[in-house]
Structure 1
Amino acid sequence: MSIGAYKAIYPGYQNGKNGTFTYSCDNKLEFHTTSPSTFMKNLFTQHNLCLSSRKMWCNTFLHTRSNIPLPLAIDQIYVPLKIRKPLQPYEGTYGYILFNLLDQIQNSHLVLSDELTLEILSTPNHIKNKWIQADHVYCYYHKFLLPTEESTCYLKNKFASSFEN
């Protein structure tokens, strides 16, 4: 598994078992028996990164502690979005979507650039805020680069019509 091997990491059920579905860059859907948060922790550990340190680093400039974008690499920022309602109190509800793959938002569906569509429970306003946070992480990662038309710092402008109520 290489860095950025997953486009989407989200909770789900398979054969009555709770776990995590992963959609890889080579368009393979896999099921893992761990929760999405445990899967992310293992993914960061596998690449010799400390997930809690990355969260604290993002907290210094985002000024929020919960559900923050998780930067795995300079162009691999995962955005947490609510995917499902839990059936049990201990089950995860948040999945992680690769920041730069958002194509459009249609009602309660998130369409990624390769036509993968995910049903989500997050509101359009919440999605907008998370993508702006991820945009800040991206720009901070690039040492406060000024946004250019080529950079993903213009995502919020590109999808402005999707975020309008």
Structure 2
Amino acid sequence: MNSIIKRGIQGIVPIYGANGENGIYIYLNDGEAIYMDKSIRAFLAFLFHQRRIDLYALRQWTSSLLHRRNGLPLVFSRELVLVPVKVRKPIGRADGSEGYISLLHIEDICEKDDQTMLRLQCGKEIISLHSRKIVERRIVLAQFILTMYEKEAFEWEGFSYIYQNTMYPPKKIRLF
């Protein structure tokens, strides 16, 4: 799993398998597509758990900034901001219909035959069931969240600099 993250994720797209089971394709920077027999929800939970990021708290923070509850971008790091895009019609109630595309790897958005297509830097084209206007709005929201994430990260970096000052050495703790 860590090798997938190190190779760079450009997109995560849910698909139905031959027997109707949930699966995902993960598109990597080198153009390779990896199939995993997991739902997108399970993969995202595992991905964020591996990096010790609270997905619930992240969604609350994003929701409070955007004043929305659905279609929220996910910030994994400065290099990986995931934009939700509807890619399939769900069959069941628990099926996910949205895939996630890396904000920094979207090369172009175009319309072909009344379908919105997103072209990734790796060359893959992903068909979206959203209109071009909705996809562009979600990209703008993801850019805003990335800006806010970088702003908070900068504030925290300044906050940690205060405690690196030698005037306030840490006190030794005595154990009984």
TM-score scaled by structure 1? 0.80
Q: Note if 1:138 corresponds to 2:138.
A: no
> Which consecutive aligned stretches of 4+ in structure 1 deviate over 4 angstroms post-superposition?
none
For structure 1, the 5+ residue unaligned runs are 145-165
Give the Cα separation in 1 of the matches to 2:31 and 2:39.
Answer: 21
Paired residues of 1:14 and 1:31 also in contact (CA < 8 A): no
Match of 2:14 in 1: 11
- Tell me if structure 1 keeps the 8 A contact 2:31–2:122: no
Q: Structure 2: which 5+ residue stretches go unaligned?
A: 153-176
Query: Deviations 1:102-127 (Å, cap 9, x if unpaired)?
Result: 11112121111232111111111111
Cα distance 1:9–1:82, how it changes in 2: closer, same or farther (>3 A)? same
Give the AA of the match of 2:17: Q
Change (3 A) 1:4 1:66: farther
Root-mean-square deviation over aligned CA pairs: 1.7
Same amino acid, percent of matched pairs: 25
Letter in 1 for 2:125: T
Q: Distance in 2 between matches of 1:5 and 1:34?
A: 19
Question: 1:75 matched to which residue of 2?
Answer: 79
Distance in 2 of aligned mates of 1:53 and 1:134: 17
Between the aligned partners of 2:40 and 2:7, the Cα distance in structure 1 is: 16
Match of 1:158 in 2: none
What displacement does 1:4 show? 7.3
Following the alignment from structure 1 to structure 2, what is the Cα–Cα distance between the partners of residues 120 and 8? Answer: 13
Q: 1:116 aligns with which of 111, 124, 127?
A: 124
Q: Which has the larger radius of gyration?
A: 2
Aligned length: 144
Match of 1:47 in 2: 51
**How far does residue 42 in structure 1 lie from its aligned partner after superposition?**
0.9
From 85, 95, 99, the equivalent of 1:91 is 95
